[in-house]
Structure 1
Amino acid sequence: MTTPRDESVDIIERELTAFARRARAAAARLHPELPLVSYTLLAHIHDQRGCRATDLAAHYMLDKSTVSRQVSALEKLGLVERRPDPDDQRVQVLHPTATGSELLSSTHASRRAAYQKRLADWSAEDLGRFASYLLRYNASGPTAH
């Protein structure tokens, strides 16, 4: 027998899947050669003001080979560059190039405008609750698929 809680979880799963699909489609429209994973990694590198590939793998719980492929693609597109770590010349730190930073800036502006439009008729209270629910959900840690 399905409970109201089960039905709610099913709706949440379905809607989060739809959300993820829209995010991937939006990323593809913004830069056809930049998958959502690559965009996310580029944004993290930018936000951290540089980081190692191993930091990306740990933060996003990705296999190192996956991160390596994504970083290589970002480098080929001229969006990321490697620089030696000033504290340890053996370590390579990833940094966005000027082109990568510009792409992130324009993409962020487009995404923010899309969110503003989609949420325009939501009250400040609804937005606050939604934001707190997302924070709470994401803070609860990784889930098994």
Structure 2
Amino acid sequence: MTTATGALAEAETTEHESDDSLAEFQWRLSVAFSRARLLWKESAARIHPDLQPSGYKLLGFVARAGEANAHHLAEAFEMDKSVVSRQVRALEELGLVVSRPDADDGRQRVLAATPAAHEALEALRADHLARMRAVLAGLTPDELAAAGKVIRCLSEL
């Protein structure tokens, strides 16, 4: 028979273990984010030595979306419009994006990745996929699905 005091102690122990697990999870997440920033920096340099990591992220978004304007980029990445504007200008100067006037709003410019940018991004994606496969090779499909669920939850914070 469990006493009220015993049940309370068990609940406190479980909560403490849960807090410890969450603290470990937060630490590992912090390390993963640091690794992601390093990967963005390395990836940007592989596309072009003068490409900034923030420009690389914007380029990846534009390439995946097919086209985008600076307003959408600023919203998607929660960046100041002036930062996006500088990065877009750099992407154009590096020959990684082209822009044209927006048919619906002539004040806006629509950006599209150049064929050279698509080619460079595809080579990076293939490399990143190979690295992911190697790192995650020991996980089962159920474990990968659970990890995906956690990442989806975190992306909604």
What's the TM-score once normalised by structure 1's chain length?
Answer: 0.84
Please point out which of 36, 52, 75 is paired with 1:58: 75
1:103 positional shift? 1.2
The whole-number CA distance in structure 1 between the counterparts of 2:59 and 2:130 is: 20
- Which residue number in structure 2 is paired with residue 9 of structure 1? 22
CA RMSD, aligned part only?
1.9
Structure with bigger gyration radius: 2
1:60 positional shift? 1.4
Deviates more, 1:15-24 or 1:91-100: 15-24
Residue type at the aligned position of 1:126: E
Q: After TM superposition, list the pairs within 5 Å mapping 1:65-104 onto structure 2.
A: 65-104=82-121
Cα deviation per residue 1:101-125 (whole Å; 9 max; x = unaligned)?
A: 1111111111111111100011111
Q: Helix, strand or coil: the match of 2:111?
A: strand
Alpha carbons 1:24, 1:35 under 8 Å: kept: no
The whole-number CA distance in structure 1 between the counterparts of 2:85 and 2:103 is: 22
1:86 positional shift? 3.0
Greater per-residue helix proportion: 2
Q: Which stretches in structure 1 are left out of the alignment for 5+ residues?
A: none
Deviates more, 1:113-122 or 1:77-86: 77-86
Alpha carbons 2:97, 2:113 under 8 Å: kept: yes
Aligned residue pair count: 139
Please point out which of 119, 122, 136 is paired with 2:136: 119
Cα deviation per residue 1:68-121 (whole Å; 9 max; x = unaligned)?
A: 122122222211111122334442101101111111111111111111110001
Alpha carbons 1:23, 1:36 under 8 Å: kept: no
Structure 1 residue ranges, 4+ long, deviating more than 4 angstroms after superposition: none
